[in-house]
Structure formats: C-alpha cells, structure tokens
Structure 1
Amino acid sequence: MALFHVNFFSEALSMCMSMDVILPEQTTAQIGMKGVASGKPYKTLYLLHGMSDDHTIWQRRTSIERYVSELGIAVVMPTVHLAWYTDMAQGNRYWTFISEELPRKCRSFFANMSDKREDNFAAGLSMGGYGAFKLGLCASESFGAVASLSGGLDVVDTCRKNSDNPIWQQIFGPADQVKGSENDLFAAAERLKASGKPLPKMYQWCGTEDFLYEQNVRMRDHLLSLGYDLTYEESAGDHAWNYWDEKIQTVLRWLPIER
C-alpha cells in the first residue's frame, strides 16, 4: 500500500485541511504484506474520526493499512474537526465539505478513484458513525454502503440533554429546532425512503455497555421499520478502540468488494 499525507485548501471551509490517503500498490517483496492493485478504478472508503480525534487516528489505533492491503481499495481519512460533519449553525460548512468537496478533490488528486455510487463507501466511529450514516441517508446518490460503529446517531436526544452547552448550539442550533432538520438522521431516513432514491446498504454495531447503546437500538428499529437493508450487530463492549479495531475488520468483510 502507498500512504499519502495530503494538505490542501478547502473552498467550502476557506482554510487549509489535512487528510491521509491509502492507495493500492502491487507488491511482492514487502515483508509481511501482500499488496493488490487490479488496474481498475479504485473503490474508495471514507473513514471518519470521532469527536476527540483527527485524520491520523485510524492509523494510530488500528492496522487499517494492513487490513486493506489485499482488498485493492483506497481509504480516505480526513480531518473534520469537532463539527459533527455538519454545516454548523454558527460556524463552517463541514457537511458541504465532506459530502461534496472532499470526494471531488480526492478524484482530482487521485484520478484512479471511481466516481460510481456503488464504488464509494463511508464508515466511522462515534461522531464519525453519525457522519457515515449521514452520508448514506443525505447523499445516497454518491455513497452505496455506509457503516457506523458506536455511532452518536440521535442528535435530537443529544442536543436535548445538552441544551445548555454552547458547543452543541454552535453546531446544531437551538435544541428545540433539531428534530426534523437536515441533521436529524431519523427524519433523513424517512425523507430518503419517501423520495424513491436508491437506499444505501447499512451496517451498524454498538457495544451493549456503550453510553450510546440506546440511541443505536432506536436507530436500528427505525431503519428496519422503514425497510432499509441494515446489518445490525451488537456484543459486549463499551466506547473503546479495542472494539473498533476488531469491528472495522468486520466492516471491511461486509463491504461489497470483490475478493
């Protein structure tokens, strides 16, 4: 695999941003690794970080480069700061950045990345799980499969419980205005289903001891009631990297990738 550290300017955010990108590389002599590059346009996984982290975290906490080495896919790991993958009520346009500008930038920098919906995926943990599901539900024309690990999927509930915290107000606006908005994934799932647009394949995991477990159960039940193609799993675990390291490997096996 080849690893790129990319610093670039975002027009949507009017600032310089960073991402790490893993690309397939055909290798035979690399110790302990077997690289695969098919010569076809790369299927691409956008791998999203949580609240306390940045674009480096998946490489620091997991062996993601090793896990994808024989899959022949690209992995894009961007920084999105503490913005919840959202066009903030009082701040910058991070949803526009992640859903529109970033994929376009990636394909301009790396021309072998496929632009087909069925070849583009998103996955993330915690805040990044919310971001991945948001890409699937609000940008389904661009992303064919999405996965959430321990996702913070009910921002209506989160904002209600933190209504006095200015951070949440800066991101989502007043707590009583979040329900039904573009940031409410429950409402987004209903709108997408009613629209007749293609629905994403979805994967969801959460540990039963996680403080976000009840949110995940509510989202599971909501998606299944609407008829989404959801693979849901749960097991013992809390909000920690030893579980996410294991479950990102499950996600990679689940993704619609030719082996």
Structure 2
Amino acid sequence: MAVLQTTFFSSALGMTSSLTAVLPQDAAPGEKFPVLFLLHGLSDDHTTWLRLTTLELLLQNRRLAVIMPNVHRSFYSDMAHGLKYWTYVSEELPKVARALFPISDRREDTFVAGQSMGGYGAFKLALSKPEQFAAAASLSGALDVRALRVLFTSGEYGDIFGDVNDGAHKDDLFAIAETAARSGEPVPKLYQCCGTEDFLYEDGLRFLRHAGKLGLEVDYEEEPGLHEWGYWNVKLPRILDWLPMEKR
C-alpha cells in the first residue's frame, strides 16, 4: 500500500488544503480503483483515521483507494460566516482526487463514510449527490444539526449554520433525506451504527425513524459503546466488508 500526504491549492476555499490517500501501489496500466471518501469528526483532521485505527492493515488485500480530506470544524457546510467547505468536499475534492490518483469516476465504485461529524457528512454527500455515490456509512453520526449547539464554542454554531430555524435549512439532513426520497432517483445504500452509551445515540435514532417513514432503507446496527476511537476501530472492518464492491 502507498500512503500519500498531499497538499494542493483549493479554489473553493481560496487557500492550500490537505488530504491523506491510501491506495494500492501496483496499479496496472489504465486500472482505476474503487474509492472510499473517509471523513473525519469535529476534533480531528485528515490524518486521524490512519493514526488511530488499523485502516492501512485492513486495506492490504483490497483493491480500494481511500481519500481522507481535511475540513476542520466546518461540518461539511458552506459556512454562513466562513469558507465553502461543502462546495469543496462535494465538487472540488472528487475532481482533484481523480486528477491526482488512479481512482474510478463510476458511481458504482464510489463510496463515502465517516464518524461523528464525518458520519453526518457521509450521509449528506450521499443523499445530496445520489448520482455520485453507491453507498454511505455513518458511524456515530451527528445527524441532527438542530440538536448540536452543545458541541460548539460560543458563536461558532451560528458561524457555521446561520439560523437553523429558517425553514428547511440547507444543512438539515432530515430535509435532505426527504428530498432524496421524493426524487424518484436511486438512493445510495446506507449503513448506520452507534454505541448505545454514545451521547449522539438518541439523535441517530431520530434520523433512523425519519428515514424509515420516508421509505429509505438503512442497514442499522447498535451495540454497547461510547463516542470514541476504540468503537470506530472495531466497526471499521464491518464497514469495509459492507461496501458493495464489484469483484475484480
């Protein structure tokens, strides 16, 4: 496996950004790998999945590329008072990654997953861009942005989201899911898990019930666990096995 730390200029952000990539180093001429965009949480960055889990070891026998971007504390949003991280991760990042690395641009080869804030980002990407993603996994996802003020410093919540009480807010995953369900278009395969002692457990159940009412199928698992890397490291093999990768 090759592990690459990459910096590049982001036009969407107007500054240099970074990503970590893990991928097989023996690509055949013309080979394009399936790709998993793996998203970090609120207090993490693009290196954390690699540093705190067995990700590289688990990828040894898989023909899969993993791209891990850095979005700081943006909640994968075009911030009300800040930078356009949603534009960056949903539009610019895939183009940059495919220009730099031998990864597929086919929907059936493209997946997204993340933990906590990244679990929200994964479902937001998949349900907002269903034509781009075949599957999305949310681990202990912070799925209800209206219930998250406790996670932020004073003023930070408003800088990211603005007024969340302003109708169907653009970052409200419940509204995004409703739009996806009513579109009539194929919805990506969805997986959701959370530890029953996690402070986000009830938020996750609210989204799960909402998805069920909309007719969205979600592969759901829960077991004892907290909001911490020990839990996510245990779930990571399950996520990789669950991805609907074509046999090669």
State TM-score, norm by structure 1. 0.91
> Is 1:10 aligned with 2:2?
no
8 Å Cα contact 1:71-1:257 kept in structure 2: no
> Is 1:22 aligned with 2:22?
yes
> Of 56, 63, 72, which aligns to 1:72?
63
Matched residues, number: 247
Aligned 1:1-259 pairs, distance under 5 A: 1-26=1-26, 40-110=31-101, 112-159=102-149, 165-177=154-166, 180-259=168-247
Q: Which amino acid aligns with 1:78?
A: P
8 Å Cα contact 1:163-1:169 kept in structure 2: no
Q: Distance in 1 between matches of 2:118 and 2:153?
A: 23
Instruction: State the 1:157 CA deviation.
Output: 2.1
Offset from partner CA, 1:148-180 (integer Å, 9 cap, x none) = 000000002224x67993110000002422x52
Any gaps of 5 or more consecutive residues in structure 1? 27-35
8 Å Cα contact 1:44-1:75 kept in structure 2: yes
Task: Mark the CA change 1:255 to 1:38 in structure 2 (over 3 Å): closer, same or farther.
Answer: farther
Show the counterpart of 1:32: none
State TM-score, norm by structure 2. 0.95
Any gaps of 5 or more consecutive residues in structure 2? none
Q: Distance in 2 between matches of 1:184 and 1:247?
A: 26
Q: Distance in 2 between matches of 1:162 and 1:44?
A: 30
Please tell me the root mean square deviation across aligned C-alpha atoms, in Å. 1.8
8 Å Cα contact 1:163-1:174 kept in structure 2: no
Task: Mark the CA change 1:225 to 1:73 in structure 2 (over 3 Å): closer, same or farther.
Answer: same
Q: Distance in 2 between matches of 1:163 and 1:38?
A: 47
Task: Mark the CA change 1:165 to 1:63 in structure 2 (over 3 Å): closer, same or farther.
Answer: same
Instruction: State the 1:53 CA deviation.
Output: 0.7
Identity %: 49
